[in-house]
Amino acid sequence: MALSRIWSAFIIIAIFVAGVKCFFFGETQIFAWMVSGKASDAANPLKIDGIIETCWVAVDICLKLIGILALFIGFMNIAEKAGGIRVLSRIVGPFFSKLFPEIPKGHPSMGHMIMNFSANLLGLDNAATPFGLKAMESLQELNPDKDVASNSQIMFLCLHAAGLNLIPVSVIAVRAAQHASDPTDVFIPCMIVTFVGTMTAMIIVSIKQKINLFQPVIIGWVLGISALIAAMVLYVTRLDAAGIQSFSGLFSNGLILLVFLLIIAGGLYKKIDIFSAFVDGAKNGFDTAIRIIPYILGILVAVSMLRTSGTFDAVMNGMKYCFAMLGADTRFVDALPTALIRPLSGGAARGMMVSIMSGPLGPDSFASKLSGIFQGASDTTFYVVAVYFGSVNIKNTRYSIGTMLMADLAGVITAILLAYLFFG
């Protein structure tokens, strides 16, 4: 219900703002650009796709997603039949049983979730999505009320949306492409911001669900993950931009191939029909991709309308004026478009980041660096909610959206403070 109201508000506000600009400021073409505008059209002053083009983009995303989902869910089905998911569940069971007390011991959802978190940690978005959708499907089997998000689903999705990430490779790559003097200088701030966002989400959900975080197992795992992150930071900070990209590519992609190898080896050891298991899982991936098309379409269209109507520009100008009136440093406001649109669309946020870096401020400006931290700091909240809850037909998301936005806010505040600390 919360997502329904937010989505409706996006559309109403966008049309209202466009109406004001059309009838009071003489921008008579704005409705045409909102509906049928193309970003590639040289005559389009907005350089943003309208509703119709966005529909094509949404379907194109889903078509590409079908292959990825089919591949990874197919391999996951092999792992499940071979018992690999159960083994993974037993490894993380002591920790997850405290955060997810409603999940029975050894349930496959434990393994699915840890695969999702691992993929997120390494920045493997294409791998994280299939694992996450499979985790939601497994958790839905335990959900007594199929229309209402369960405590376990909320905890999982809030932690997922917080986007704990070791190396923001895409941000570093963009900064390198824009000829930043030190493309890797946002690495440590990004790492810290994602960790703060994840801990914020965990704390808020734990309070809502009355989970005691001061249990030895939880503290031990959190400290262990913190030590792993610290060790990674120490190693990566000694590398240059090319070294970081090389290390990340070797480590993350090599890990995917290793997982595939272990799954096939496990299937051979258990003497299961590996290819049939893969095909059965791939069919499920295809069905899942088709099922989430309307949710992706709805979110992308709402975001497109907000952008083409000029609502984002109005908000940004208002914020900059307010901070200037208060006498505050306004350098960070130039980077806020990336933070504001990040919960709605990862692609749009990336475009904002590139626009700031390639603009008059340049890639080494304070705003460009802060924009890079924003981009590498969290997942796309509303997109995640629509896709993941939509994949299992959850209608009542309870307090999940509010929690994710609070984690996003904590990340934004932390990012601004770290930007001033590191680059101010």
Cα(4)–Cα(6) distance, rounded to whole angstroms?
Answer: 6
As a whole number, mean pLDDT of residues 44-63 equals: 83
As a whole number, mean pLDDT of residues 352-375 equals: 83
Predicted pLDDT at 20? 92
Predicted pLDDT at 207? 95
Cα(196)–Cα(193) distance, rounded to whole angstroms?
Answer: 5
Is 27 in a helix, a strand, or coil? coil
Cα(277)–Cα(264) distance, rounded to whole angstroms?
Answer: 11
Predicted pLDDT at 61? 74
Looking at the 3D structure of the chain, how many domains does it have? 1
Identify the H or E element spanning 79: helix 51-82
Q: Are 305 and 11 in contact (CB under 8 A)?
A: yes
Tokens 């809502």 map to which residue?
208
Residue 145: domain span:
2-423
* Phi, psi angles (nearest 5°) of residue 105: -60, 130
As a whole number, mean pLDDT of residues 76-83 equals: 85
* Phi, psi angles (nearest 5°) of residue 45: -70, -20
| Helices 51-82 and 84-99: angle between axes, nearest 10 degrees | 110
* Rounded alpha-carbon distances, angstroms, from residue 120 to 126, 179, 269: 9, 27, 29
If we measure between CA atoms, which residue out of 67, 83, 68, 66 comes closest to residue 263? 83
Cα(305)–Cα(54) distance, rounded to whole angstroms?
Answer: 10
Specify the pTM.
0.78
How many CA within 13 A on the CB side of residue 98?
Answer: 15
* Rounded alpha-carbon distances, angstroms, from residue 161 to 1, 14, 111, 117, 322: 19, 25, 18, 10, 30
Average per-residue pLDDT in the chain? 84
Partnered with residue 396 across adjacent β-strands are 148
Predicted pLDDT at 122? 65
215 has pLDDT over 80: yes
Predicted pLDDT at 404? 92
Cα(89)–Cα(97) distance, rounded to whole angstroms?
Answer: 10
Lowest mean per-residue pLDDT among 114-123, 253-262, 415-424: 114-123
15 has pLDDT over 80: yes
If we measure between CA atoms, which residue out of 263, 70, 174 comes closest to residue 255? 263
Query: Could you give the angle at the alpha carbon of 409 between the alpha carbons of 406 and 413, nearest 5°?
Result: 145
Predicted pLDDT at 70? 84
Q: Are 287 and 137 in contact (CB under 8 A)?
A: no
Query: Which stretches of 127-173 are assigned E, i.e. beta strand?
Result: none
As a whole number, mean pLDDT of residues 345-369 equals: 79
Predicted pLDDT at 252? 67
